[in-house]
Chains A and B, each alone.
Chain A
Amino acid sequence: MTALINYLSQMLAIAEAEVRKLRHDPVDLFTRIIQPALWLLIFGQVFARLHGIPTGGVSYRDFLAPGILAQSVLFIAIFYGISTIWERDLGILAMYLVSPAPRSALVLGKSLAAGARGLAQALMVYVLALLLGIHLVLGLLSLAGVVAMIILSAAIFSCFSMIIACLVKTRERFMGISQVLTMPLFFASSAIYPIALMPDWLRHVASLNPLTYQVDALRTLMLPGFRSSSGVLFDFAVQVGIFVVLILIAGRLYQTILE
């Protein structure tokens, strides 16, 4: 029991450090809203005029909003690993690693911190969407579900990003690989168009992409009358499963970035 409490408090300590940093300097949070705003305002406006996209009974703009929220969380989280390299190049990572905290607790803490950034992003996308007149469900259960899915998904992609950082070890290689991964992850998901429109091979790829399940859950929770294609509980189950696997891998690899 004490072991579990210690584990959780070590995990939270790492997340707390990140959140405190954001509190000292929140500029980064605000500049992050520009990209999703452009997607919703420009891309969304233009594509809303195409009426051939089967969006499951909601307008294209409404359909797009959860997709763009998911995308913006992905963009934050997928580059998160660069901070691991940065902390390695300083002595901060060595300081964490020489503490008795289990490696998986350190990685979980970092992932949770990415979740906190994701939530700040979600708050801003909600405000933007409401200003645009997009219909969103604002019930407590729906919001709680969105919060949980955002944290979980940000944690998944940041953990994935930390694994890449541990494998490639340098900033240059990390940036190269992350750039290459981001767009395929985004396009092979239902973020901006439904899976039904995809060619078969892409549909298979999309069904392996965590972003697809994130988007499906967010749409179902956020949009009144949207019908989930895989079921929200199934979406959560998939995401939890992926996260557990990633944490186990990242926990094993975390220390090797020092070598």
Chain B
Amino acid sequence: MELLSHDILIVGGGGAGLRAAIAIGEENPKLSVGVISKVYPMRSHTVSAEGGAAAVIQPNDSLENHIYDTVSGADWLADQDAVEAFVKEAPEEMIRLEHWGCPWSREPDGSVAVRPFGGMKIERTWFASDKTGFHMLHALFQNSLRYENVTRYDEWFATRLLTHDGRCQGVAALELRTGQIRAVAGKGTILCTGGAGKIFPFTTNAAIKTGDGMALAYRAGVPIKDMEFVQYHPTGLPGTGILITEASRGEGGILLNKDGKRYLQDYDLGQPLDVSDANHPRKLTMELGPRDRLSQAFELERQKGGTLQGEYGDYVHLDISHMGQKKIDKKLPFVRELCKNYAGIDPVSELIPVRPVIHYVMGGVDTDIQAATSLPGLYAAGECACVSINGANRLGSNSLTELLVFGRRAAQAAVRFHGETGDIATSEIMAQGEAEQTRIRERFFKPSGGKETISGIRAELQSAMEDGAGIYRTDESLRTACNKVRELQERFERIELADHSLTFNTELTTAIELENMLDVAESLVHSALARTESRGSHQRTDFPDRDDESFLKHSLAYRTEGGDPRIEYKDVVITSLPPGDRVYGSK
């Protein structure tokens, strides 16, 4: 086996990975960077983000405001030192992206425009129409092309971290075109592989969001933090789960139950203003409440019988028709296109059917404020990581900015580590790469005699997660989910692949993804079972209150060999904001 080698490796070519690659190009263009991604970078899921990216820019706003909104939005589970660093560095990162060509929407005077978003006190969401993630990703990707020190491994799928002497020294990756596993060495490795929404049935997430980086770290002994916190976005299309951006509410869209009532007023989110009122939409109120509270309101309204029923389950209506065609075409053209194509309706004159759908995993690989994990040489940034700035509930438009701030921080930390650490243990790393080649071949290409299928196990996993670890959870529902995940892990051993080709074997990649999904699901359901309180997106009907005494803590799930994960806790960092009440819709 030939050993490929770089100074620093980045796994994942989405927003965080590309920002990290560019940061290394800027820090030290002599360092060689390898970007390993299972898809071409511009296919990464950052591309699907719509609404915008938060950073303080208005003169009437302040860093303190953004910090407070983020911490209270997170139900006080965010680390405040991380939030402070994030908020402080956010504006410069956004301007930098502007300098790299991102086509931000503008005010008449040519300055960057911002829009309101849920849970945010003041307008601070930068946007590029309603395709913000798409434009950010392409600006980053195209800008990355100029750096000759960056080598891309497009359509290479990392399957294992290579560790020796207590540090991460590279990855084993499957080159899809040839079916070969290669060992790729690097003194620093940064995981930027995104979230894991595909472990649930209805999600805004793309097919590639299978928790790969989380699973890699988990198996290498690195804890996965706060996995019980999973965000439902209140407005996805039923069936497909396609995202209808929060910007549609930021621009004035309203949510209606089956009787046409703005039902959010019944769920402690304040009183509605008429859509013609100059103060509509009022920030931190009604439709501009945070995502966890809006999704929970949907579920309670459903139990009350206020939702509508359709082929893909219950739904409510999102109405943006009062904005008129001109504003919709200017501010929300993609929403209109998606509704026409995938819901068969035109939101200029019709109501959009929506339901809460899985959108974002707040938890992820446990990192410190420099994006470093507990394994020397391993870093993580973006949705696959948990710093944590998102705590128990992420505010819309913080995650795109997070990619930039922590992608850059991870790169800087990896560059420092590169300068301090010893040489790569070449022969050990290669031996591990060869062992991984053998494992993959034997595990997936040898007849197992089993009858289990990838799609069968995946569907059962997804429905177990929705039933057991959905918007509301109980001890019983979570125990059932834990048992089911264990059963599916055992049954996964008996899957049999029909495809033994070495050329672009997507049945093999799907199987490896499912293996990752099962591990991520395991960490999630056990963390949720152990947290006997309700906080943010984690709502236990058997423990309905927040319990700061016992649970103002991050949960850390450690993988154990053959058993349930071990759950430990560490304190949340509080600097200036003692835990308080989350108040929305106040007068």
Q: Verify that A and B bind, or say they do not.
A: no
- A binding-site residues for B, Cβ under 8 Å: none
- B binding-site residues for A, Cβ under 8 Å: none
